[in-house]
Structure 1
Amino acid sequence: MILHGYWRSGTSYRTRIALNLKGLTYETRGVDLRQGAQKAADFLAMNPQGLVPALQVGDAVLTQSPAILEWLEEAHPQPPLLPSGALDRAQVRAMAALVECDIHPLNNLRVLKALREGFDADQAATDAWAGRWVGAGFDALESLVQRQGDGWCWGDQPTLADCCLIPQIYSARRFNVDMTAWPALSAIESRAQAHPAFQAAHPDRQPDAD
């Protein structure tokens, strides 16, 4: 497998975590979003949307990190990143979607670039924008984790929800969001910092990192 991604991309980060938790071997190829590498003809031929990540699996190319994570769970079910019960799986997917759908899309690179270029937003304004949506999402996720977690977002083992949460916390800190309001999420972050799969996926450890 070949993972085309950007070292600081939250969606690439969550994909690396899942691959590592599954114990899978993959090659990393950097796509520098700041330089517009995602718009290069060869990359667009592989992923017409021009976004990361893109995961090459033999002759197939998988895009959109939620679909990639679900495929990993189906194709490589051990160790599981979803619980066994249907209702429990739905709860984990809902927590993952809270990040994937309601937080991350509003503070990714192209949205922040649009704020700066189209609305003259400075760094303080973009930080406030990102913090607004991070805060609303983390408020809800904190409550869910306190209800359903036991060391991780759901239960006592990492799930797809944790794959999504940890990169979002990394982004939140980049936007100067104070994490003290969410002790359960911060505790998961501390646990992840000691977990080899999360350590290896960290942006600073990627070959294309600054």
Structure 2
Amino acid sequence: MQQALTLYSYWRSSAAYRVRIGLNLKGLDYAIVPVHLVRDGGQQHAPAYAALNPQELVPTLCDGERVLTQSLAILEYLEETRPQPALLPAAAGDRARVRALAQLVACDIHPLNNLRVLQFFDQEWHVPQSERDDWILHWMRMGFSALETALAGTAQTGRFCHGDAPGLADCCLVPQLYNARRFRLDLDPFPTLRRIEAACLALPAFDAARPENQPDAA
């Protein structure tokens, strides 16, 4: 019998959003425990949650007694323990491509506009809002430019980031585009990204994972 899955999530966290998409694509039942990243000084810093996730970040996924952190590690774990439907293609070279696309977003774009980075700029260095916005938009624009080129320049890109079934890279792309709109990045230069996003959001698994559809949405 499969153990119950519990996801500690914040409605607007792009990392938690990735995992919600992955869980939905695999058709898995899970309970959401909201962790508000701003309220009460940030509920992720509460001792009980810090004991669960020492980084004091979301998401955290509990699979029975097993506690998992870091969104890409969680998605890879789900792929290994619940392999169908697959988030990664069968061939090693194709898997490497999909992982590279996912990491471009999760490791190179997202950390530079993460909430704790922006809070540090504000609270410790007192960086003006306009300069913080310039920082965010610069790194998003640079990352999306590389991603657009990578996706538009190969026949391996299909309806989705890799072929005609959604996978790991799409789980990362869609939340980052949501973030980009929050910060008013001009997405006109990225037609391939927008086309793939539209195909993703037409699917129930992606729609159910949207921030506005979460139980803790403000």
Give TM-score, length-normalised by structure 2: 0.94
Please identify runs of 4+ aligned residues in structure 1 that moved more than 3 A: none
Deviations 1:26-63 (A, max 9, x none): 00010001021101111011111111000011011100
Counterpart in the other structure of 2:167: 159
Matches within 5 A, 1:17-96: 17-35=21-39, 36-96=42-102
Counterparts of 1:127 and 1:188 in 2: how far apart (Å)? 26
Q: Which runs of 5+ in 2 are unaligned?
A: none
SS, match of residue 44 in structure 1: helix
How far did 1:118 drift?
2.6
Counterparts of 2:119 and 2:51 in 1: how far apart (Å)? 24
Decide which structure has greater helix share.
1
How far did 1:82 drift?
0.5
Contact 1:92 1:160 in 2 (8 A): yes
Counterparts of 2:102 and 2:130 in 1: how far apart (Å)? 28
Counterpart in the other structure of 2:181: 173
Counterparts of 1:120 and 1:172 in 2: how far apart (Å)? 23
SS, match of residue 85 in structure 2: coil
Give TM-score, length-normalised by structure 1: 0.97
Q: Which runs of 5+ in 1 are unaligned?
A: none
Counterpart in the other structure of 1:206: 214
SS, match of residue 78 in structure 1: coil
Aligned-CA RMSD value: 0.9
